[in-house]
Amino acid sequence: MLKLQAAAVGRRKQQNVELIQFLVLISLLCVIMMFLLLVPCAIKSHPPQENSDYILTQTQMEDMELEMKRRQQTVMRQCHNTGDDGTKSKLHASRLLKVVTKLFVEKKRKLVWCPVYKAGSTTWMEIFAIIGGVMTPENRIRLSKGLIQMNQLARMVYPKTKDANTTVKFLAKSTRFIIVRHPFERILSAYRDKLEHRKGREFYYRRYGRHIVRSQREDNDTFVDRAEPTFVEFLHYLVKTKTFDEHWRPFTAECAPCELNYQIILKMETLEEEQLFLATKLNLLDALLTVNSTGLLLHNTNPNGRTEHNYAQQYYRDVPNQLLQDVYMLYEKDFRLFDYSPEEYFNFAKMT
């Protein structure tokens, strides 16, 4: 009898344990279900904080629209004042046709971009590659390995036009934009990226560097152990030969602003907010966010780091003031059209 009672008690204890385990399991399931139901609501009501950095208010958009209109009017006014507003028809047509061949033309969005190297071009090459559908994982790997460059990838979708006249007609109904940069800062950036160091830049050393050294150094043995040109030698070369590469060619020659009358003029100095304005305006925000989230592929950037404004004094303090005045004259139209001042750099220059 006692054995039967003990067995009954054991069964009840086992049943109680099983019941408790069942209740615990049910409770856990309820908690999980509540979590799954509530988290999406929380995400919707509290979007990721970083996304708020990519939303401009209506007031910001309106202010930016006014600034773009002001810049466009400044360019057109300066073009008119210099007699470079298209009244010289033959020169106007010739310059326009040369520039048209290099434009990026996105027909669906009626968007036209004139790329200026050393002025935010890599970002927008990638954006065009994204909207063109060629920024695939395979191509990203090729980019990271240096097997292809970003401009080559973008040109797969937006090749240089072979029918300039048709493109000229399309320009009238398009949104045209350009990105500019302080001319003296852009010149310095081009020098640091392409000419300051020979390693990794053999093409530019063979094409320009060694010729600059031969023509400028002469009997000066101060830099006898240096194969690459100095910044001052590069500037002397520019003034003497007026030889321009696409990385330091003036904006007026590279993109014909007087002829194309760009409605959107972005500036490198304030590019982060301004390209956000452009991406929002043209429904390209997803592409811009993709570029920003993945980070730019750095294999084709300056191995010595980006040329920030704080580098300016370091390099320009060795430039004779008269030489810098001569360089300014080469780029004077760029300064005037895009409302840049050379004064800070003249103050950096060496008085002789």
Q: Do the bridges between strand 111-114 and strand 264-267 make them parallel or antiparallel, or are there none, so unpaired?
A: unpaired
Number of domains present in the structure of the chain = 1
Q: What is the pLDDT of residue 247?
A: 94
Length of the chain: 352
The answer to pTM > 0.85 is no
Q: What is the pLDDT of residue 297?
A: 39
3 located within any domain: no
Sign of CA dihedral 211, 217, 218, 222: negative
229 located within any domain: yes
Q: What is the pLDDT of residue 289?
A: 86
118 located within any domain: yes
Average pLDDT over residues 36-62: 57
Residue 41: pLDDT band by 50, 70, 90 thresholds? Answer: very low
Separation CA 23–CA 300 (nearest Å): 62
pLDDT digit string, tens, across residues 67-83: 999 999 999 999 988 77
SS3 call for 82:
coil
Q: What is the pLDDT of residue 49?
A: 38
28 located within any domain: no
Higher pLDDT, 45 or 331: 331
SS3 call for 288:
helix
Separation CA 132–CA 109 (nearest Å): 11
45 located within any domain: no
Query: Which residue(s) pair with 264 in the sheet?
Result: 177
Which amino acid does the sequence have at 349?
Answer: A
* Domain encompassing residue 133: 59-79+90-348
Tokens at 18, concatenated: 């099983």
Alpha helices by DSSP H, listed for the chain, are 2-45, 58-81, 89-100, 121-131, 137-144, 150-157, 164-171, 183-194, 202-204, 210-216, 231-241, 251-255, 257-260, 271-281, 285-294, 312-316, 321-330, 332-337, 343-348
Is pLDDT above 90 for 138?
Answer: yes
Give yes or no for a contact between 228 and 196, defined as CB atoms under 8 angstroms apart.
Answer: yes
105 located within any domain: yes
Residue 48: pLDDT band by 50, 70, 90 thresholds? Answer: very low
SS3 call for 339:
coil
Place of tokens 């997803």: 286
186 located within any domain: yes
Is pLDDT above 50 for 38?
Answer: no
Distances (CA, A) of 104 to 99, 121, 124, 215, 283: 11, 11, 10, 37, 17
pLDDT digit string, tens, across residues 250-309: 999 999 999 999 999 999 999 999 999 999 999 999 888 888 765 543 334 444 555 566
Give yes or no for a contact between 275 and 123, defined as CB atoms under 8 angstroms apart.
Answer: yes
Separation CA 181–CA 338 (nearest Å): 9
Residue 120, class by beta-carbon neighbours within 10 Å (0-12 exposed, 13-18 middle, 19+ buried)? Answer: buried
Separation CA 194–CA 244 (nearest Å): 13
Q: Where are the beta strands (DSSP E) in the chain?
A: 104-106, 111-114, 175-180, 264-267
Is pLDDT above 90 for 104?
Answer: yes
21 located within any domain: no
SS3 call for 201:
coil
**DSSP letters spanning 307-338:** --GGGHHHHHTTSBHHHHHHHHHHTHHHHHHT
Residue 86: pLDDT band by 50, 70, 90 thresholds? Answer: low
Separation CA 194–CA 203 (nearest Å): 9
Q: What is the pLDDT of residue 45?
A: 34
Residue 166: pLDDT band by 50, 70, 90 thresholds? Answer: confident
Separation CA 230–CA 52 (nearest Å): 44
